[in-house]
Amino acid sequence: MSRKDRGKKTSNAAQEKKDVIKKIQDLAKKYPIVGVLNMHSLPAAQLARMRSQLRQNVAMLMTKKSLILLALEKLKASQKGIEQLEKALPEMPALIFTKDNPFALFRTIKKNKSKAPAKAGQLAPFDIIIPAGPTPFAPGPVLSELAQLGIKAGVEGGKVAIKVDSTVVKLGQPIKLALAAMLVRLGIEPMEIGLDLVAVYEGGMIYPKSVLDIDDVKFMSDLTTAASWAFNLAMEAVYLSKDTSEPLLQKAFREAKAVALEGAVLEPELMEELLAKAEREAMAVESELPKS
């Protein structure tokens, strides 16, 4: 290759890098929400399927980490705090741009993940526990294999049974080859295949996965409980608001009426109840008198 050709190739590569950085800047200005994806170990078929499902609502861009870092550096002047996404960038990153709610985006991506067996060297996505109970294994070498993995097992009813729940690998630890093979034999698929949204930027805020991954049922339950506690506290503190004014007035009326009845305060609204109370007391006294 001549010096001229080498120079042309270098110039083309430099221009391509500039074009990618410019595209990231343009997308970040068009879409208010920018997410970081971890593309490690994502099969091409799965990626193509997710791209197809999300195409209407999002734009995705895969490129080198160094180019994303340069783009974020240029964007920080116009989009406050976006450079904080640098800390979330994995070794194989991609960016996702959308106008959807960050939490809705995370739910959509999570919903489209599928279970997969673990491979040697992969990091555990959570504490992997082998539950106590029967297995399909006949007694034999499998007992020593389980013991080597720290799993207590014995023979029950002619089959190998795991005696107690056993944590075989902790969150974030690598899965060893022997353990990966045993998990497959036990039918345990701890891994998930799909896009991994690790962080999202919106309006100067960074939302990590731990914040985005909300259990909707638990969230609504917690919200309902919090609202109930807040209402009870407001009632106890006699705090007037749109929600407490009417029940506080009803409570005050009931308490005032009880005091008035106890003190036999003669008011038109109380006369019927006072007369009924007097009649009950008179009948009670009469019942105690000796009969002639």
Tell me: the pLDDT tens digits for 89-139? 988 899 999 998 898 888 888 887 778 888 899 888 889 999 999 999 999
Q: How far is CA 220 from CA 212, 228, 243, 267, in A?
A: 15, 12, 20, 48
Query: Percentage of the chain with pLDDT > 70?
Result: 95
Q: So what's the pLDDT on residue 34?
A: 94
Q: Which top CATH class is 128-190?
A: alpha beta
Total-model pTM:
0.57
Tell me: the pLDDT tens digits for 48-74? 777 777 777 788 898 999 999 999 999
- CATH architecture of the domain with range 3-113+194-213: 2-Layer Sandwich (3.30)
Q: How far is CA 275 from CA 255, 263, 265, in A?
A: 20, 13, 12
d(CA 57, CA 44): 20
- Write out the residue limits of the CATH 3.30.70.1730 domain(s) in the chain: 3-113+194-213
- The yes-or-no verdict on residue 223 having pLDDT over 70 is yes
- Write out the residue limits of the CATH 3.90.105.20 domain(s) in the chain: 128-190
